[in-house]
């Protein structure tokens, strides 16, 4: 075999090998999923399976080809933020009269079931009433508000209401563990959700429409938190009777020894997160039972002996001016840790689902002290300075009882500190909130207060001094985007813009399975007809085209998996259409080759001329198909986009398989010594 033939074979075989490699996670995930389902009824066996195969299952799940809701089942939900309710709640209740109510009702009639902007419509109707906004609204941070400033505030609040609803829903869906949920804005006031594999529609409805709960809680990062971690280890190992020896029983009172830790980490702090994991075998003066074992065996034993604590990386700083240093929590007692100082605990994003699942267990909740609650940060922090951008989430110990709720907040805006030019958030409270906030901040100077929305910590700023008037400046944000998010979160407890479900569709798993079955059957039938026709009409040439056709389908599916695309029912239709286009290109080439052979040209020259003369027609037809697909992709939505994506990928793969691959096959046949080839019915000159 000469070098040219080796190149041709590589051109054919390499894409197939690559496609199989890309699709391997999908195949392996299917195997693991069936194993998991077969033992799901046995909780002990399922937990053991998760410990053994959990990481592999998560890895293959992330890399597999995803299926749309029409193939796997789930819920389509469209939510609408009630902006008119927000306008009513923002107005002074004592000022609302019949004219104001009439404007609200007229706006509601005009905007219901439409895509009209509610705020613009309200302002238009309000101007015709002959009243002024100053009669009904005020701006809390302006002594002399104007009509324009009130209008600006209403528009800003309306825009933030959708952002707040979006953020709350994201956190709730993530907490509910709906995998691969798609959540996005639609228009000016709607949110569209696609929730695969949902089994309890009633719980999802309740989850989506429950009012957001914003709370301020004291941060308790002390030895009682570490004691709780060890108690969870004992419980998970089946040694719950030993928990009392640690002093972490249900009636324990937590003493607040929290220091003034800052929420932002330095570069050295962030780098130390990665170092913390490598210190797990460091045992200080105590005997190390893992000494002499391989790294793999050490990790296995540590996971078994510390099923909860092994997931955490701990850091400690003597005071707020010192850098965090990693410390080992394995083989230590609670008393081994300093009582005074600043603690920080983080968990890898890969291990977070497992940690949250443990914290949700009823038996785990019972052993955590009554005054202590273990929460996780809402947003991850990415490790900097390394090639692997791994995500870490902070673990917080907070007081179970909230110091204050978010309904007292009247305004929250992102801004920049004029002295440092760093992003900050300005927060305003009503009179009741200002009085309570003065008491809270006065009692917690030098300590931290966590800002918690729906059970996730968004920030834990340090209290620098007592705040008497309810006007606060929150610092420590790393970017303007982070400040904007915190402002949105703070307003989530103040704005009264309820969310209502305006459209809901449920696709059952059985319907999805039936769609897959029908799609596969229709695809196989269409492929069989095309393959049979090509073999009967073009003989050996048809066989070459059929090989390229099957390769085309494999490459389209692999490309979808590689780029994180989702296969839907319209997508299957796009694949079927792309196979027809692939055959069309081969027919143009074969007819040209037959014409050249009928004119007396030798096989090599006929093949070269056939591909050369058919090229322009192939390009024209595929480019027009590509343009059509691009129009559908950018202007279409939902199923139309799914069809467009597979169509575009199919066009690109067609140009490769129908032109490059088939020509490589012809070249191999010619190099083997063939002087003619059967292309079916002889073409007369």
Question: pLDDT by residue (tens digit) across 593-630?
Answer: 888 888 888 888 998 998 888 888 888 888 888 888 88
Separation of alpha carbons 52 and 530, rounded Å: 46
**Distance, CA of 581 to CA of 584 (rounded, Å):** 5
pLDDT tens-place string over residues 90-102: 888 788 888 899 9
**E strand spans, 89-226:** 182-186, 190-196, 214-218
> Is residue 537 pLDDT above 50, yes or no?
yes
- How confident is the model at residue 257, as a pLDDT? 30
Is pLDDT above 80 for 359?
yes
Q: What is the pLDDT of residue 277?
A: 44
Question: Band of the pLDDT at 347, cuts 50, 70, 90?
Answer: very high
Distance CA 226, CA 362 (A): 19
Specify the pairing of strand 372-377 against strand 456-459: parallel
Average pLDDT of the chain is 80
Residue 263 has pLDDT above 70, yes or no: no
Q: Quick one: DSSP state of residue 64?
A: S
> pLDDT at residue 210 above 90?
no
Q: Where are the domains of the chain?
A: 1-64, 74-210+403-473+495-507, 214-397, 510-685
495, 502, 413: which is closest to 211 by C-alpha? 495
pLDDT digits (tens, 9 = 90+) for 398-436: 999 999 888 888 888 888 988 888 899 999 888 888 999
Cα distances (Å, whole numbers) of residue 631 to 348, 565, 626, 637, 645? 41, 18, 9, 11, 11
* Sequence-distant (≥ 6) Cβ neighbours of residue 126 within 8 angstroms: 103, 133
pLDDT at 379: 85
Q: Which residues contact 411 (CB under 8 A, 6 or more apart)?
A: 140, 141, 426, 427, 428, 491, 494
> Which pTM value belongs to this model?
0.61
Distance CA 644, CA 628 (A): 8
Confidence at 376, pLDDT banded by 50, 70, 90: very high
For residue 147, what are the contacts with CB-CB under 8 A and spacing of at least 6? 132, 133, 134
Architecture per CATH, 510-685: Up-down Bundle (1.20)
Tell whether the model's pLDDT for residue 18 goes beyond 90: yes
Whether the pLDDT of residue 645 is over 70: the answer is yes
Least confident interval from 20-34, 194-208, 338-352, 437-451: 194-208
CB 492 within 8 A of CB 164: yes
Asked if residues 259 and 321 have their Cβ atoms less than 8 Å apart, the reply is no
Residue with the bigger pLDDT between 407 and 109: it is 109
The pLDDT assigned to 512 comes to 63
DSSP 424-463: EEEEEE-HHHHHHHHHHHHHTTTSBEEEEETTEEEE--B-
pLDDT value for 60: 84
Could you tell me the pLDDT band of residue 1, with boundaries at 50, 70 and 90? low
Burial class (CB in 10 A: 0-12, 13-18, 19+), 284: exposed
Contact predicate 281/296, CB 8 Å: no
| Residue 246: pLDDT over 70 | no
CB-count exposure of residue 62 (10 Å: 0-12, 13-18, 19+): middle
Per the listing, tokens 């006031």 go with 189
Percentage of the residues of the chain whose pLDDT score is greater than 70: 86
Spatial contact of 325 and 308, defined as CB atoms under 8 Å apart: no
Cβ pair 489, 212 in contact under 8 A = no
Question: How many whole angstroms from its chain centre is CA 213?
Answer: 22
Percent of the chain past pLDDT 90, that is, above it, reads 10
Sequence-distant (≥ 6) Cβ neighbours of residue 533 within 8 angstroms = 542
Provide the terminal-to-terminal Cα distance of the chain, rounded to the nearest Å. 36
d(CA 671, CA 389): 49
What's the pLDDT tens digit per position in 321-345? 778 888 888 877 777 788 778 889 9
pLDDT of 49 > 90? The answer is: no
Structure confidence at residue 242 (pLDDT): 57
Q: Is residue 244 over pLDDT 60?
A: no
Sign of the four-CA dihedral 636, 642, 645, 650: negative
pLDDT at site 393: 93
- Confidence check: pLDDT of 260 > 60: no
| Range in 269-278, 489-498, 549-558 the model is least confident about | 269-278
Q: What are the backbone dihedrals phi and psi of residue 394, each rounded to the nearest 5 degrees, phi first?
A: -75, 140
Q: How many helices (H) and strands (E) does the chain have?
A: 21, 19
User: Residue written as tokens 């707040």?
Assistant: 164
């Amino acid at each position: 075999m000469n070098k040219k033939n080796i190149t041709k074979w590589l051109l054919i075989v390499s894409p197939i090998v690559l496609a199989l490699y890309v699709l391997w996670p999908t195949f392996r995930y299917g195997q693991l999923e069936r194993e998991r389902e077969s033992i799901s009824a046995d909780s002990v066996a399922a937990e053991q399976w998760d410990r053994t195969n959990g990481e592999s299952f998560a890895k293959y799940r992330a890399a597999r080809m995803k299926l749309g809701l029409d193939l796997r089942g789930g819920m389509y939900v469209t939510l609408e933020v009630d902006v008119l309710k927000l306008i009513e709640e923002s107005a002074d209740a004592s000022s609302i009269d019949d004219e104001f109510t009439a404007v609200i009702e007229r706006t509601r009639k005009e905007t219901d079931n439409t895509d009209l902007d509610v705020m613009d419509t309200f302002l238009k109707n309000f101007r015709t009433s002959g009243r002024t906004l100053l009669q009904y609204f005020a701006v809390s941070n302006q002594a002399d508000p104007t009509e324009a400033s009130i209008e600006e505030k209403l528009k800003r609040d309306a825009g933030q209401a959708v952002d707040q609803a979006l953020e709350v829903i994201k956190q709730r869906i993530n907490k509910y563990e709906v995998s691969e949920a798609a959540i996005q804005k639609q228009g000016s006031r709607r949110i569209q959700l696609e929730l695969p594999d949902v089994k309890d529609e009633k719980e999802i409805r309740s989850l989506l429409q429950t009012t957001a709960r914003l709370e301020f809680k004291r941060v308790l990062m002390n030895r009682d938190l570490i004691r709780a971690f060890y108690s969870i280890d004992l419980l998970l190992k089946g040694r719950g009777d030993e928990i009392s020896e640690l002093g972490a029983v249900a009636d324990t009172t937590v003493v607040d020894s929290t220091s003034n830790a800052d929420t932002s980490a330095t570069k050295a702090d962030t780098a130390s997160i990665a170092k913390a994991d490598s210190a797990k075998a460091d045992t200080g003066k105590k005997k190390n039972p893992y000494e002499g074992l391989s790294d793999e065996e050490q990790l296995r034993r540590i996971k078994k002996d510390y099923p909860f604590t092994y997931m955490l990386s701990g850091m400690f700083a003597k005071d707020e001016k010192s850098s965090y240093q990693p410390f080992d929590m394995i083989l230590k007692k609670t008393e081994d840790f300093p009582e005074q100082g600043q603690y920080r605990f983080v968990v890898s994003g890969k291990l977070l689902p497992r940690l949250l699942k443990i914290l949700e267990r009823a038996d785990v909740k019972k052993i955590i002290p009554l005054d202590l609650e273990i929460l996780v940060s809402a947003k991850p922090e990415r490790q900097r300075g390394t090639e692997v951008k791994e995500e870490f989430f902070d673990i917080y110990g907070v007081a179970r009882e909230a110091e204050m709720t978010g309904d007292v907040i009247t305004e929250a805006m992102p801004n920049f500190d004029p002295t440092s030019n760093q992003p900050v958030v300005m927060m305003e409270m009503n009179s009741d909130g200002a009085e309570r906030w003065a008491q809270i901040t006065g009692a917690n100077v030098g300590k931290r207060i966590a800002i918690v929305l729906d059970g996730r910590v968004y920030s834990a700023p340090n209290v620098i001094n007592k705040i008497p008037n309810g006007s606060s400046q929150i610092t420590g944000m790393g970017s303007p985007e982070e400040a904007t998010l915190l402002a949105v979160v703070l307003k989530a407890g103040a704005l009264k813009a309820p969310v209502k479900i305006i459209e809901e569709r449920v696709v059952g798993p059985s319907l999805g399975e039936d769609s897959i079955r029908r799609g596969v059957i229709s695809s196989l039938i269409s492929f069989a007809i095309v393959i049979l026709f090509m073999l009967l009409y073009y003989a050996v040439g048809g066989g070459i085209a059929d090989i390229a056709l099957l390769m085309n389908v494999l490459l389209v599916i692999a490309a979808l998996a590689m780029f994180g695309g989702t296969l839907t029912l319209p997508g299957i239709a796009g694949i079927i259409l792309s196979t027809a286009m692939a055959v069309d290109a081969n027919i143009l080439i074969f007819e040209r080759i037959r014409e050249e052979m009928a004119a007396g040209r030798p096989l090599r020259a006929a093949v070269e001329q056939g591909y050369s003369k058919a090229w322009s027609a192939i390009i024209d037809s595929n480019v027009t198909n590509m343009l059509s697909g691009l129009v559908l992709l950018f202007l279409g939505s939902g199923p139309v986009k799914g069809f467009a994506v597979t169509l575009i990928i199919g066009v690109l793969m067609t140009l490769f398989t129908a032109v490059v691959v088939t020509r490589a096959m012809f070249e191999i046949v010619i190099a083997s010594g063939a002087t003619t080839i059967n292309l079916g019915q002889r073409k007369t000159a």
